[in-house]
Each structure stands twice: as structure tokens, then as C-alpha cells.
Chain A
Amino acid sequence: MTPNLLDIVELRKHFPIGRRSQLHAVDDVSFEIARGESVGLVGESGCGKSTLVRLITRMLDPTAGDIVFGGRNIGFIPARKFAETQFRPKIQMVFQDPTDSLNPRYTAFDTIAEPLRLLAKVKDYGELHARVFAAALQTGLPEELLMRFPHQLSGGQKARVGIARAIALRPELLILDEPTAALDVSVQATILKLLAELRSTLGMSYLFVSHDLNVVRMLCDRVIVMYLGKVVEQGPTEAVFRSPAHPYTAALIRAIPSIGGRPGDREVLSGEPRSPVDPDPKVCRFFGRCPKQVDRCRTERPLLREVGEKHRAACHFPQVEPEA
């Protein structure tokens, strides 16, 4: 078996709140991404997705745990020093809002060229030019748009600039933070298709953060579901969508809008999420909203366990995969 590209081992990020309290943004999260694999990360707002992404891109230092990338633990390198390491060009990211993530005073060319200048140390203008044009070509960005400023580009074109900037360095791991959330539906489809093509031509691994489950289903081999800083379910996309084991995943999947479905058909979760500040280690994080909850959920926190092939869920009463 080939080693994984990325192994996240019991990664934890707690933010101090006041003198005593800790906000558990990411709590003992473990998962792995194989080379060339596309992994989806889903969960509601505030579940720690963004913190996890910032930990993996090494913009933030973890409280505990390991980030093993290509066999080397990069979790110990301080975020401040990370730009100087050989790993920086290998982990790149596409941001959520293409307008916000482009410097308004940089032309598309400058934006795509900057990582090449700083990280790939491309000094020769001819080579820089060639590599920027190559990245633009790969992302379907017309050459004549390269001299434009962001405000002179459409949403889809800006998204392509953001993707071109990220792939210009040929990263091994590309993190996509809801890359299509700010785009029109028609543009979304073309950008998703582009991303799927790029992955197969460049052989990158994807960590695809989204709360659009249909997108995840289309693009990802595996899916990880997070709830309040914890992984509650992970497994092959098809298995998770076909038979969600955790009640939270089941509720998420039921909430996907579908043509022909009536609003009354859907079961809506009641209650508020528990506080992420100093959570009781004995209580299941989903307690209070769970339709299956019993007293045991309040005295013993469920751990991730197998419910099917490579399919794990953190629930005392998982929906076990039916025998195929």
C-alpha cells in the first residue's frame, strides 16, 4: 500500500476564551487523503471546517496533533516560518469568494505570477510569462484577460484566476474552500467540470470543503462529515449518501432539495447546536438535536467505529449498511 499524501492525526485546535474557557474548534480530528484522491469535507457553519482548513494550509498553529504530509510531520513548523519551507508550494488553496481573494490593484497576470515569483523563484521574465500563460490556458482563462484588474472580470473569470494562481505551482494538495459558493449556478457547473478535469490531468489531491452536498457527491471519492469540531462520519461518498450511518448525516442528506420533493416531506432538526466552549467530554456533541438520543448519549461519548467498508460513524446507534 502506498503511503498517504496527508495524514491528520488527532488534530486539535482550542482557542482560549477569557481566562479559563476554551473554544474547541477542532477536537481530535483524524483522517487521511491518498495521492490523487478527492475528499469532501461537509458540515454546517461553525463546525470547525474553516479552522481545520487553516490548520492544514498552515496559516494557523494546532494546539495538539500531527499533520503528516508526504511522510513528514509539518504540524510543528510554526505558521510564520511555513512560507520558507519546501512544503508551501505543495499545499495551495482556492478561496471561497473570488472577488475578495483577488487584490483589486493586481492584474490577473500579477496575481497568478506572484506565487511563481516568490515560491518557485522564477526570476526570468520569459519563463514567468510562459508559466502564467500555461496556467491561464489550463484554467480556460483567455490570454487577453490577463492584463485586466479584478473589477474588469466576471465572477467566473475571477474564479478561474483564483484557480490558476493555486495550480501555477503544481501543488500536490489543493484545498478548495467552497470554490463555487459565490458563483451563479450556470457558472458553478463549468467551474466544477474544470476542477474535475484539472485533478485528472495534474494528479492533485483535493480537499473539497462545501455545504453543497450535490457538489460533493459529484466530485469526491470520500466524504468527511464534521459536527462541532468532531468528525461524526466518514466513508466512501456513495456509501455515505446511500446509507448515512450518523443521524446528523442522515438529516443533512434529507435536507438536499430535490425536484418533486415537497417541503413537508422533510424532517427538520429541532434544537440548537451545543456550545463549542468547554464541551462536556462525556456527552455526545449531537445530543439535544438528535432524534435517536437516549440517556447513554449523555454519559458516554460515542467514538468513531466501523459501520461498513472504510465507513465509520460516531454514534451508539448507527444505521448499519445493508448487506449488498
Chain B
Amino acid sequence: MGASATIAAPGWRDTWKHVRYVATDNPVTLGAFALFGFFLLLALFGPWIAPYDPLMSDTTVALKPPSAAHWFGTDSLGRDILSRIIVAAQLDFGIAVSAVFASFFLGSALGCLAGFYGGWADRIIGRIADTIMAFPLFVLAMGIVAALGNSVANIILATAIINLPFYIRVSRAEVNVRRNAGYVEAARLAGNSDARILALHLFPNVLPPMMVQISLNMGWAILNAAGLSFIGLGVRPPQAEWGIMVAEGATYIISGEWWIALFPGATLMLVVFTFNLLGDGLRDILDPRTRT
């Protein structure tokens, strides 16, 4: 039908215009998106971009400082550090994205239920969150990985579990303040079931603050995965991973080979920084009230 086309088309164009507006209005957001895009490229196409095989050792060039051939230098086995950093992006991002999305979906579902129904649902879900929060989170993650075994799946699981309370709390609080809003009551009169009200009326409205949480957590999740690998839990050598690379390089700092730990460490820092800035931009894009 003709009318439907005229209605649907401007919707998409408006959304795109809005994304462009938010990005250009705030140069910091634009920078964060650019950096994020850059890291995403590394994660997706790392093995093709990397100049050397990340696992190939060549003892003739071991422990060489940055040079034209090896921009970030080489490690004790003569592996190219730049290549290892690039290839590691896939693993680190994969862990962070899977863990954060697992805790986002489970945490916001639980939090929405707790905030919407209150009573026993709220008490039980709230106590689960409190129990997780009662542990020092990194120690809890260490415990989970140590108990379940050293594998990537278990790092993801541990990272997801320690991030769960943040999503439960944010979504619970945001749903709770909105559950008596006029539009929820109006939605009931319009024939919505509880499930529809939660999914279509409340959840989209709590999404903007959740987005900030996702982005902040993404940085933490990467740090957490790297931290676990650093202390020897999680990803095992010789696989390229930023945390392991920092751990391997740490022993050489004293003897003057600073580049082995510095470059993966700086990469980690930059990634966490990017995610933190990205959160603000995402919130602006998802909140219809910032649309002009």
C-alpha cells in the first residue's frame, strides 16, 4: 500500500540522520566510534592484516627492540609483537562480547522481572545479586575458572557471572520507577499482557542507561579476561592474548626489554578507554529524546 511506504521510509532516514548528528555533534563520540571500528576490523580480519605468523618463532631476532621490520619489536622467542597484538584482538573481543551479552540478556531479564513484579521475585533475585557482589569479583572469577577448568568457555562464563549483578541492579531500578507510569497503565487498557508490557513498553525505555553499562562492562570484561590470563588462569600460551603477553613481558622489563609488555598493555588501555567513551555516544543515539 502506498501510504505505508511513505510512512516507513522517513523512519529509516531519520534514524541514520540521527546517528550522523550524534557522531558529528560530539567529536569525542566520533573518535570513540572510529577507534571501535578500528579494533573491530582487527578482530574480524586480524589474521589477514598481521604481517607475521603470530606463533612463528625465529630465535635469530629474539628480544629485538622496535624496528622497521618489527614495529613493536619481538619477544623472547622472536615472535612479532605487532602481529600477536593484532591477532589477539579476536580472542579478547570474542570473550568480552560473549560474556557481556550473556550477562546483559540474563541480567536484564531478571532485573526487569524483579522490578516489575516486586515481592518475592524481587527478594530472590536481589539476594542472588547480593551474593555475587559479596565476593571480590576478580577473586570470584578466579575461583570459577579454577574450579571449572582452564578454557575460553569458562572465562566467558566467569566474566558473565561477575557482571550479572550490575545488569540486574540497573534494570531493576529503571523498571521499578517506570512500572506505575501512565503509559504502562495505558498499555494495559490497550490490551497488552504483562509480558508485552515488559518487552515492548518498559524494556526499550530502560535500554539507554543499560547501553552505558554494556559499554563500560565491555572494557572491564576485556581487563578481566586479560587479568585471568596474566595470573595463568584462562587462555594458555603460546596462544596470543593481551594479558598473557603482558605477563610474559613483565619479567623482561627489569632487564630493559620494555616493549614486550608495553605494547599489549597500551592496547588494553586504549580498548578500555574506547569502550568507556562509546557508552555516552550509544546512550545519545538510543534515547529518542535527544532526537531533533
- A interface residues (Cβ-Cβ under 8 A, vs B): 57, 59, 83, 88-89, 92-93, 95-97, 100-106, 109, 114-115, 118-119, 125-126, 129, 147, 149, 151-152, 162, 165-166
Contact = CB atoms under 8 A, between A and B. Distances in A.
A163 to B, nearest CB: 12
Given A83-B192, A125-B1, A100 B7 contact: no
B28 to A, nearest CB: 24
Given A115-B189, A115-B191, A119-B190, A125 B288 contact: no
Nearest to A133: B3
Given A96-B182, A104-B289, A147-B10, A126 B189 contact: no
Interface string B31-62: 00000000000000000000000000000000
B186 interface: yes
Contact of A126 (B1, B10, B190, B289): B1
A256 to B, nearest CB: 28
Contacts of B188: 59, 83
Contacts of B201: 103
Contacts of A59: 185, 188-189
Given A104-B289, A151-B288, A151-B289, A115 B190 contact: yes
B183 A102 contact: yes
A250 B131 CA distance: 59
A97 B192 contact: no
Given A95-B186, A129-B4, 15 more contacts: A59-B188, A83-B191, A83-B192, A97-B182, A101-B182, A103-B201, A104-B289, A115-B189, A118-B192, A126-B3, A126-B4, A147-B7, A149-B288, A152-B291, A165-B186
Contacts, number: 79
Contact of A88 (B3, B191, B288): B191
28 contacts: A57-B189, A59-B185, A83-B192, A88-B191, A89-B191, A93-B186, A95-B182, A95-B185, A96-B182, A100-B182, A101-B181, A101-B183, A102-B182, A102-B186, A105-B204, A105-B205, A118-B190, A119-B190, A119-B191, A125-B1, A129-B1, A129-B7, A147-B7, A147-B10, A147-B11, A149-B289, A149-B291, A165-B186
